[in-house]
Structure 1
Amino acid sequence: MTADMSAMSSAMSSPTKSEFDEKATGQAGLGFDEEKDHVDKEKTSSEPSSPSPQVQVLLKDEPHARVPLDSTPLEHAHEPLPPAAEAVVDPILRSALATEIENAEPAMGIVLSPIRQTLLCAAMTLTYFIGAASGASVIFIIPAMSKDLGVSTLAAQWVASAQSLAWGCGLLFAGRLADMYSRKFLFLLGLSITLVFTLISGAIPNLIGICIVRALAGLGTAIATPASFGICGVTFRTEPTRTVAFAVLGMGNPIGGTVGMILGGIMASIGEHGWRLLFYVLGGLCVIPIAVGFLVIPSDKHYVATRNPNQNKQIDWLGGFLVTAGVCLLAFSLTQSGIADDGWKTPYIPALLALSVILLVSFVFWEAFAERRTSIPPVAKLSLFTRNKGQGSVVLLMLFFIWIGTNGTFSLISLFYQEYQQVSPIRTTLYVVPAPIVGVLASIIVIYLVPRVRAPFLLATAGLLTGICAMIYAVEPEGLTYWAAEFIGLICLPFGPDMTTAIGSIIISNLCDDDEQSVMGALLQTTIQVGQAIGLCVASLIEQNVSQSTGSILQGLRTSFFATMALSWITIPLALIFLGNMGFAQEVRRKDSSSKAARPHF
Structure 2
Amino acid sequence: MTTLTPSSPAPPVLGRRDRLVLFVLCAAQFMVALDFSVLNVALPVLGADLGLDRSALQWAVTAFALPSGGFLLLFGRIGDLYGRKRLFLAGLAVFGAASLLATLAWNPAVFLTGRALQGLGAAAIVPTAMSLLTTTFPEGPLRDRALGISGTLLSLGFTVGMVLGGVMTDTLGWRSTMGLLAVFTLIVLPLAPGLLPESRTPDRPRLDVPGAVSVTGGLLALIYALTTAAERGFGGADVRTALVAGVLLLAVFVRVESRHPAPLVSLPMLRRGTIAFGNLGGLVTFSMMSTVIFVLTLYLQETLGLSAFATGLVFGAQGVLSVVAGTFAPRLIGRIGARRTLVVSLAGQGLLTAALLGVSESSGAILATVAVSLASMCHLGAIISYGLTVTSGVPDEEQGLATGLVTTTQQVALTIGIPLLGALATAGGDLYGGVRTVLALDAAIVLGTALLVGLGLRRRA
Q: Which runs of structure 2 are paired with 1:479-494 in the superposition (5 Å)?
A: 482-483=365-366, 485-494=367-376
Greater fraction helix: 2
**Which residue in 2 is equivalent to 1:323?**
215
Structure 1 residue 554: deviation in Å?
A: 4.3
Q: 2:146 aligns with which of 228, 235, 245?
A: 245
- Aligned partner letter, 1:293: A
* 1:524 to 2:406 alignment: yes
**Which residue in 1 is equivalent to 2:176?**
277
- CA distance 1:578–1:406, change in 2 (3 Å): same
Structure 1 residue 312: deviation in Å?
A: 4.9
**Which residue in 2 is equivalent to 1:93?**
none
Q: 1:504 aligns with which of 361, 367, 386?
A: 386
Q: 2:356 aligns with which of 473, 478, 483?
A: 473
* 1:393 to 2:276 alignment: yes
**Which residue in 2 is equivalent to 1:533?**
415
- Aligned partner letter, 1:567: I
Q: 1:435 aligns with which of 310, 318, 323?
A: 318
The DSSP-based 3-state class of the residue aligned with 1:563 is: helix
Structure 1 residue 174: deviation in Å?
A: 0.5
Q: Which runs of structure 2 are paired with 1:343-492 in the superposition (5 Å)?
A: 343-370=233-260, 375=261, 377-387=262-272, 390-475=273-358, 482-483=365-366, 485-492=367-374
Decide whether the 8 Å contact of 1:402 with 1:567 is kept in 2: no
- Aligned partner letter, 1:426: F
- CA distance 1:176–1:121, change in 2 (3 Å): same
- CA distance 1:267–1:410, change in 2 (3 Å): closer
* 1:210 to 2:95 alignment: no
Decide whether the 8 Å contact of 1:171 with 1:223 is kept in 2: yes
- Aligned partner letter, 1:288: I
Question: Deviations along 1:325-346, whole A, 9 cap, x unmatched?
Answer: 22222222333345x4x45454
Decide whether the 8 Å contact of 2:65 with 2:412 is kept in 1: no
**Distance in 1 between the 2:315 and 2:195 partners?**
36
RMSD between aligned alpha carbons?
3.0
Structure 1 residue 565: deviation in Å?
A: 0.9
- Aligned partner letter, 2:278: V
Structure 1 residue 443: deviation in Å?
A: 2.2
Q: 1:291 aligns with which of 190, 202, 208?
A: 190
- CA distance 1:299–1:572, change in 2 (3 Å): closer
Q: Which runs of structure 2 are paired with 1:9-20 in the superposition (5 Å)?
A: none
Q: 1:572 aligns with which of 438, 450, 454?
A: 450
The DSSP-based 3-state class of the residue aligned with 1:237 is: coil
More contact order relative to length (CA 8 Å, sep ≥ 6): 2
Identity, % of aligned pairs?
24
Question: Deviations along 1:472-520, whole A, 9 cap, x unmatched?
Answer: 122557777644x434312321134321221122232223221211222
- CA distance 1:417–1:213, change in 2 (3 Å): closer
**Which residue in 1 is equivalent to 2:9?**
none
* 1:127 to 2:9 alignment: no
Structure 1 residue 255: deviation in Å?
A: 1.7
- CA distance 1:257–1:350, change in 2 (3 Å): farther
- CA distance 1:428–1:265, change in 2 (3 Å): closer
**Distance in 1 between the 2:282 and 2:458 partners?**
17
**Which residue in 1 is equivalent to 2:86?**
185
TM-score (norm 2): 0.88
**Distance in 2 between the 1:557 and 1:278 partners?**
26
Decide whether the 8 Å contact of 2:144 with 2:388 is kept in 1: yes
**Distance in 1 between the 2:145 and 2:115 partners?**
32
Structure 1 residue 394: deviation in Å?
A: 1.0
**Distance in 1 between the 2:116 and 2:362 partners?**
43
The DSSP-based 3-state class of the residue aligned with 1:433 is: helix
Decide whether the 8 Å contact of 2:76 with 2:124 is kept in 1: yes
Structure 1 residue 147: deviation in Å?
A: 4.8
- CA distance 1:555–1:282, change in 2 (3 Å): closer
- CA distance 1:351–1:119, change in 2 (3 Å): same
Task: Count the aligned residue pairs.
Answer: 453
**Which residue in 2 is equivalent to 1:230?**
131
- CA distance 1:451–1:401, change in 2 (3 Å): same
- Aligned partner letter, 1:362: V
Decide whether the 8 Å contact of 1:436 with 1:494 is kept in 2: no
The DSSP-based 3-state class of the residue aligned with 1:205 is: coil
- Aligned partner letter, 2:248: I
The DSSP-based 3-state class of the residue aligned with 2:263 is: coil
- Aligned partner letter, 1:382: L
Structure 1 residue 148: deviation in Å?
A: 4.6
* 1:260 to 2:161 alignment: yes
Q: Which runs of structure 2 are paired with 1:43-62 in the superposition (5 Å)?
A: none
Decide whether the 8 Å contact of 1:401 with 1:571 is kept in 2: yes
- CA distance 1:278–1:490, change in 2 (3 Å): closer
**Distance in 2 between the 1:407 and 1:565 partners?**
13
**Which residue in 1 is equivalent to 2:441?**
563
Q: 2:228 aligns with which of 336, 360, 365?
A: 336
- Aligned partner letter, 2:245: L
**Distance in 1 between the 2:422 and 2:228 partners?**
12
- CA distance 1:129–1:564, change in 2 (3 Å): same
- CA distance 1:432–1:216, change in 2 (3 Å): same
**Distance in 2 between the 1:576 and 1:149 partners?**
45
**Distance in 2 between the 1:421 and 1:146 partners?**
19
**Distance in 2 between the 1:145 and 1:193 partners?**
23
Structure 1 regions of 5+ residues with no counterpart? 1-103, 106-110, 584-602
Structure 1 residue 320: deviation in Å?
A: 1.0
- Aligned partner letter, 2:22: C
Structure 2 regions of 5+ residues with no counterpart? 7-11
**Which residue in 1 is equivalent to 2:98?**
197
- CA distance 1:570–1:194, change in 2 (3 Å): same
- CA distance 1:226–1:269, change in 2 (3 Å): same
- Aligned partner letter, 1:429: G
**Distance in 1 between the 2:42 and 2:369 partners?**
25
Q: Which runs of structure 2 are paired with 1:20-31 in the superposition (5 Å)?
A: none
**Which residue in 2 is equivalent to 1:513?**
395
Structure 1 residue 289: deviation in Å?
A: 3.0
Decide whether the 8 Å contact of 1:473 with 1:561 is kept in 2: yes
- Aligned partner letter, 1:294: P
Decide whether the 8 Å contact of 1:409 with 1:539 is kept in 2: no
**Distance in 2 between the 1:175 and 1:433 partners?**
33
- Aligned partner letter, 2:163: I
**Distance in 2 between the 1:141 and 1:410 partners?**
13
**Distance in 2 between the 1:149 and 1:578 partners?**
46
Larger radius of gyration between Structure 1 and Structure 2: 1
Question: Deviations along 1:540-582, whole A, 9 cap, x unmatched?
Answer: 354467x67xxx6544433332211111112322343222379
